[in-house]
Structure 1
């Protein structure tokens, strides 16, 4: 029997009594804009769009059923049906890796293989989650610009029907790709036709689907439902959300276990209304397109400004290595130039090819930010 009073118990578990006294308190986080300047490290580094913050605050009212039984989640399902067709089934999740694993796992048996580009996020950047968590084999095919073709897919199919081999039952494309390139509707339709002829399904990793649609000047359904895509990982965080993505099932013949797999894969939110409220703010109107267009335009402006700086001999030894078709610019840059520019701006080395850096724009990137980066690269 515990003879301590509640006050004594509380005192004995006070953190100040347990932790060592260092003599200093943790300094508060500096929230001044100067302490967190915009840079080109990643669109994940950007903050949250003010309209999304407002939507979260508006949803923070009273009590409502959890786990998706709320009106915000029902509204999200209706919005997705508007974009992707009446048969679309939408499932909010926490993050992009979770969306990819859940989408593929829901559509495929455990013996399946997924053909994708070697540079694809599911192959290179997810710590093996599709294989370790999803139980699927990922087959990364070499590409020149991050884009699969029907011929590449056919060449990657091996071991079909052999019990010693994982069975190629899905194709996954990134839209836009990890190299910033964008599939046209015709290219996706050709891939979908190839996949379906080979009894495979087509998954789209759409973490930047909005950027692709904005670049092409089309709707979200025009590069998915209309061209034969079966299932989508729909992005949000990279386009201004606090932290929300979704799996959207387009093919009614797949994804039947989604309700159970989402929970099993740790992607079922109890307070789902706050995920859905974010997604609604992004996709109900034009915010997704406006934000994606802004980041795309800043990437084009950056590429043009760098080309102009080279033409004016303000900077030497740099080369844009991919067409700019989304919100990223890939530049071959000498180490000394990159080091000089990094004294002012953050950006990433591209691990897939030597001496290439990735300059990523976001929904809040400004022309002044771009001008500053170009000046830093040029040493002005």
Structure 2
């Protein structure tokens, strides 16, 4: 099957494989006390600020749950978009592992605003019967393939801090957002007041591994114990760390994300005048959400693999249409995209 389902289905970049092989040639200290982990932390600091405190984990869900859990007590709450990955795609892990509550607010093209968060904060304030909001969590780029601007992030950070909250960014596709914004990572995270970051790479060419980055270092206290207790302290941590060295030091993150974004834009441009399909949200990273005639969907699905979204979640389209997601990745080629375009047009 020709695949436009997810950037999770793509393989591992050859440079990452090579880096893993190089890290496999000798014995080194375990549990992150090795030179690879130390160098990887230094490289992350170069991108996000010398004061930040990074920790490596295995999974994106773990990065989100542990970073949010580090600042949210069991009686606390996290405010997020109703479309947020932590709300809809992590099998209740935040609630189960943090023991706290998620408050969801409406999104506009995948984004939330201070205005959307305010009623939730006001309703809970000083009410002993309500969980108390402690963090606002956003995703960059969003679950709908859009990208927060620096002004939007700054507004949320200022709003969060004015109300005694922290701002967390789920950066599973942070590299795609950086390419879209044409900005270094620090310029739209640390410099704007973001407190906590889940830094991803698996969706952009890494084999496994993510990082929890405390942009506000005061929040990192005791995290080493949380990570161990949550079974995310890998004994052979060098194999996570060496990937981040190659990924960040050689600007592989940028090369990979640039290709993914360009391929998504190419696909969008190639189908925008086809009457049987309608692109539902701005294509700003590497995802397209498309309303498509059911007949066309059934024919395409015989040859192409992609996700058809739950109709109960997306009701704003007429009978005879369905909503699908098409994604591109670091190894998507122009030939693959053009073949898909021609299949749709045909």
What is the TM-score when the length of structure 1 is the normalising length? 0.87
Is 1:135–2:102 an aligned residue pair?
Answer: no
In structure 2, what is the equivalent of residue 108 of structure 1?
72
After TM superposition, the structure 1 = structure 2 runs for residues 35-50 of structure 1, keeping only pairs within 5 Å, are 38-50=2-14
Deviation at 1:97, TM superposition (A): 0.4
Is 1:301–2:266 an aligned residue pair?
Answer: yes
Deviation at 1:377, TM superposition (A): 2.0
Aligned partners of 2:73 and 2:98 also within 8 Å: no
1:328 to 287, 306, 314: 287
Aligned partners of 1:340 and 1:377 also within 8 Å: no
Aligned partners of 1:344 and 1:376 also within 8 Å: no
Aligned partners of 2:72 and 2:98 also within 8 Å: no
Match of 1:333, SS state, is strand
Distance 1:327 1:94 in 2: 23
1:363 to 317, 330, 333: 330
2:48 to 71, 79, 84: 84
Aligned partners of 1:92 and 1:275 also within 8 Å: yes
Match of 1:254, SS state, is helix
Is 1:98–2:70 an aligned residue pair?
Answer: no
Aligned partners of 2:71 and 2:134 also within 8 Å: no
Distance 2:86 2:181 in 1: 24
1:260 to 212, 225, 234: 225
Deviation at 1:170, TM superposition (A): 0.6
Structure 1, 349-358 or 182-191: larger mean CA deviation? 349-358
User: What count of residue pairs does the alignment treat as equivalent?
Assistant: 337
2:183 to 192, 203, 218: 218
Is 1:372–2:333 an aligned residue pair?
Answer: no
Distance 2:293 2:120 in 1: 35
In structure 2, what is the equivalent of residue 32 of structure 1?
none
Deviations 1:90-132 (A, max 9, x none): 1111110000001001122221100000000001110110000
Aligned partners of 1:118 and 1:143 also within 8 Å: yes
Distance 1:331 1:321 in 2: 6
Aligned partners of 1:55 and 1:281 also within 8 Å: yes
Is 1:188–2:188 an aligned residue pair?
Answer: no
In structure 2, what is the equivalent of residue 318 of structure 1?
277
In structure 2, what is the equivalent of residue 353 of structure 1?
314
Deviations 1:319-338 (A, max 9, x none): 00000110011110112111
Match of 2:289, SS state, is strand
What is the TM-score when the length of structure 2 is the normalising length? 0.95
1:248 to 208, 213, 217: 213
Distance 1:182 1:263 in 2: 33
Distance 2:133 2:231 in 1: 26
Deviation at 1:373, TM superposition (A): 1.2
- Which structure 1 residue ranges, 4+ long, deviate > 4 Å from structure 2? none
Distance 1:292 1:131 in 2: 31
In structure 1, what is the equivalent of residue 141 of structure 2?
176
| Stretches of structure 1 lacking an aligned partner (at least 5 in a row) | 1-36, 311-315
Distance 2:234 2:115 in 1: 40
| Stretches of structure 2 lacking an aligned partner (at least 5 in a row) | 316-321
Deviations 1:6-65 (A, max 9, x none): xxxxxxxxxxxxxxxxxxxxxxxxxxxxxxx65101000000000000000000011101
Distance 2:86 2:55 in 1: 19
Distance 1:291 1:356 in 2: 27
In structure 2, what is the equivalent of residue 19 of structure 1?
none
2:252 to 278, 283, 287: 287
Aligned partners of 1:39 and 1:369 also within 8 Å: no
Match of 2:116, SS state, is helix
In structure 2, what is the equivalent of residue 21 of structure 1?
none
Aligned partners of 1:90 and 1:247 also within 8 Å: yes
